[in-house]
Amino acid sequence: MNFDWSQVWDAMPTMLDGLLVALTATGIGYVIALILGLVFALARRSPNRWVSMPVGFLVEFIRSTPLLVQLFFFFYVLPLIGISVSPLATGAFALGLHYATYVSEVYRSGIDGVPPGQWEASTALNLSTRRTWTNVILPQAIPRVVPALANYIIAMFKDTPQLLAITVVEMLGGAIAIGSETFRYSEPIAAAGLVYLFVALVMAWIARIVERRFGQVRV
């Protein structure tokens, strides 16, 4: 086997274009996951069973089906119901929705970690349910799960190659495109792998800083 490192470097400009796409999908998807995840977590705790049960079912359903299936589903179904958005937007949304179900479990563990006495004190002061959530419970629940939340952004980033299935060309897609022209696949795919590795390591490093920062907040 002859492995030509110069071809790895030649692939890099394409990889950087792909990286931009991957980071865009991850970034948008992550924001969706953080927001929807919180909505899911709160809805599942609703005293109204007509809210908590359907949302609980939805969360379990999304979590138990593969991301790839969900990507295809939204890619083919959204246009049918009159929503036509770019494949990248579709992919970011599907990624965000998928990860929202995991993120909601992270929020749940954070909320469960707030001592019952905090709820009782809020009742004793007659705070409204909304105030209790926004001013007492969530400010204590969220800091303790920031490290776990930060780890999901890495997992999401590593799932972006699946967007290739719905024609979103990020790094792996770029590598395969190069291969189909040059008939050399190993070098561009190695290039993609290196970029994934590098970016994931940087993210993990940032996550560890965040973890150390929040690990010290004793709430």
Partner 1 sequence: MTNGDFITFEGVHKAFGQNVVLDDLSFSVGSGERVTLIGPSGSGKTTILRMLMTLTRPDRGTIKVNGDYLYHEERNGQLVPASEAHIRKVRSRITMVFQHFNLFPNMKVLRNVTEAPIHVLGKSKDEAEARGKELLEMVGLGDKLDAHPSQLSGGQQQRVAIARALAVDPDVLLLDEVTSALDPEIAAEVLDVLRDIAKTTDVTMLLVTHAMKFARDVSHRVLMFNEGRIIEDGTPEQLFNEPEQDRTRTFLKSVLDET
Q: What are phi and psi of 12, to 5 degrees?
A: -60, -40
Tokens standing for residue 51: 């809210």
Q: How far apart are CA 41 and CA 58, in angstroms?
A: 12
Nearer to partner 1, 65 or 128 (CB): 128
Nearer to partner 1, 69 or 125 (CB): 125
If you search the block for the tokens 């274009």, which residue do you land on?
17
| Cα-Cα end-to-end distance for the chain | 57
Q: How far apart are CA 7 and CA 185, in angstroms?
A: 10
State in angstroms the smallest separation of the CB of 126 from partner 1: 5
Q: How far apart are CA 43 and CA 66, in angstroms?
A: 23
218 binds partner 1 per the rule CB under 8 A: yes
State in angstroms the smallest separation of the CB of 122 from partner 1: 8
Helix or strand run (H / E) with residue 213 = helix 186-215
52 binds partner 1 per the rule CB under 8 A: no
Binders of partner 1 in range 120-139 (CB under 8 A): 120-121, 123-128, 131, 135-136, 139
Nearer to partner 1, 121 or 206 (CB): 121
Nearer to partner 1, 84 or 109 (CB): 109
Give the range of 78-86, 88-96, 102-110, 117-125 binding partner 1 by CB under 8 A.
117-125
Contact 89, 29 (CB under 8 A): no
State in angstroms the smallest separation of the CB of 195 from partner 1: 40
Residues at the site binding partner 1, with contacts judged by CB under 8 A: 115, 117-118, 120-121, 123-128, 131, 135-136, 139-140, 218-219
